[in-house]
Structure 1
């Protein structure tokens, strides 16, 4: 199932929807008006009820035709708007570590972003004057579906609700100002997330997904999650040995080579640049720098 969040034009409230071949089904219009994406993740029975409603829509498409929305006219919201934790993994691709001139980590490198960094598909991203070295990072984001503590690697993927495309935008001059990366990573709207949240059953193998990033139509990143140093399962297991993961927590699993930081001549992002990132099967996420 491909889920998404959008801003309802009548109320301004964020509501979940489902992508179908016929259009976007507004969950609020088919009896799930109080359902948020976070509640959907935390309540398996809600997802089951929603699935039954979708199956009914397939049987009786005319009955749901009035509840279909045109995706092109939607104002998207971030795939999640209130995750409990946003955990990011640094230097998790072999070729990205090489282009950065850094050794391959022997344990996962963890840092965090906050909810202020969340942004939606097609939402402008402000570049504040406090920095100038603005960079992109296409990433596979993992959304937890179950409480996880001391989880074995072999069982870790069973705790995943779904996956989405993320752009871990970074201000490199702020990131490298001190040994702590936080300042350069969690500026307002510096984590576009979406456009869809794809349930785990539709992702055959998270370690065999292509990733791409374009800047103003020019391909900058093109890799595969197979180049990860630590797999999704290993990351979940490692984190869960140290602190508890809750439903709705987001893990951004690192970026491949091709970022501006690794280029011999660095032309940083600036206002007006359009950045599109895509993870195979999860949709393209586009934002313009402002």
Structure 2
């Protein structure tokens, strides 16, 4: 089962269950299971498929989506975490995950037109898999890691490379408004099964730029959770964005950055395809 956050035809924020191109409203305007998808995850309501009988239904086509989660407390991103990406950057093996933070108010929706910051001439894409935390997580052991994972979604970590390279700290280049596309669907970990079998494919105007399986991560999900929760506790609804494969625009020959009108799609198997159009 897949879940989404979206607007009703009347423009009311809600969330629901997607089945065969239809959305069943589980939010306040529907069966009122929980106020939001985020609150449903926090309260552990998705461990079994919710009852959707009698829920208002709308078609996925024509629906305006919202960022998958409304306001996660922490969005932790892992950098240079696919072998192919490390090779194209020329970085040496650092031995520990590279970690940076993204602000939750930078999150953007599937289907939204996303602005290229006027301050940047080097705006780039990064297709990724994001995991959502489903249980309190503090000093998680690798063998227990998947016990705290609620599920997964596609993510596009748009990056202003010039701002990312101003200093050794990446925060400015990773936090322009509407630069973290998130969605369209959340799937529970039990529905996904073996997450390492998921394949991330990023396309720009239909051209495949990135493609790799989650099994190609340098630091796998248990290693990421062990490291991150050693320095900061995580709560249900927090997000970890696990890294991007090789093929980003910065390392093309010549470097090729996003321009107004470009269509960027991040397809992650059963998680669906996250699609955005870039605008000036």
TM-score above 0.5:
yes
SS in 1 for 2:270: coil
1:52-89 CA-to-partner distances (Å, cap 9, x unmatched) read: 414xx4xxxxx55xx21100011000111110000000
1:15 aligns with 2:14: yes
Between 178-187 and 26-35, the greater mean CA deviation after superposition: 26-35
The change in CA–CA distance for 1:30 and 1:129 in structure 2 (over 3 A counts) is closer
Cα offset, 1:9, TM superposition: 3.2
The change in CA–CA distance for 1:14 and 1:174 in structure 2 (over 3 A counts) is same
Using the size of structure 2 for normalisation, the TM-score is 0.95
Distance 2:255 2:40 in 1: 42
* Equivalence for 2:239: 250
Cα offset, 1:193, TM superposition: 0.3
Segments of 5+ residues of structure 1 without an aligned counterpart are 58-62
Distance 1:42 1:17 in 2: 15
- Aligned-residue RMSD, C-alpha: 1.5
Q: Name the larger-Rg structure.
A: 1
Using the size of structure 1 for normalisation, the TM-score is 0.92
Which of 252, 259, 276 is the matching residue for 1:270? 259
* Equivalence for 2:144: 155
Distance 2:114 2:21 in 1: 31
User: Does the 8 A contact of 1:139 with 1:255 survive in 2?
Assistant: yes
Distance 1:36 1:129 in 2: 33
Which of 106, 129, 133 is the matching residue for 1:140? 129
1:239 aligns with 2:228: yes
Segments of 5+ residues of structure 2 without an aligned counterpart are none
Distance 2:12 2:50 in 1: 24
Which of 165, 172, 181 is the matching residue for 1:176? 165
SS in 2 for 1:81: coil
Distance 2:110 2:68 in 1: 9
Cα offset, 1:33, TM superposition: 6.5
* Equivalence for 2:184: 195
User: Does the 8 A contact of 1:91 with 1:105 survive in 2?
Assistant: no
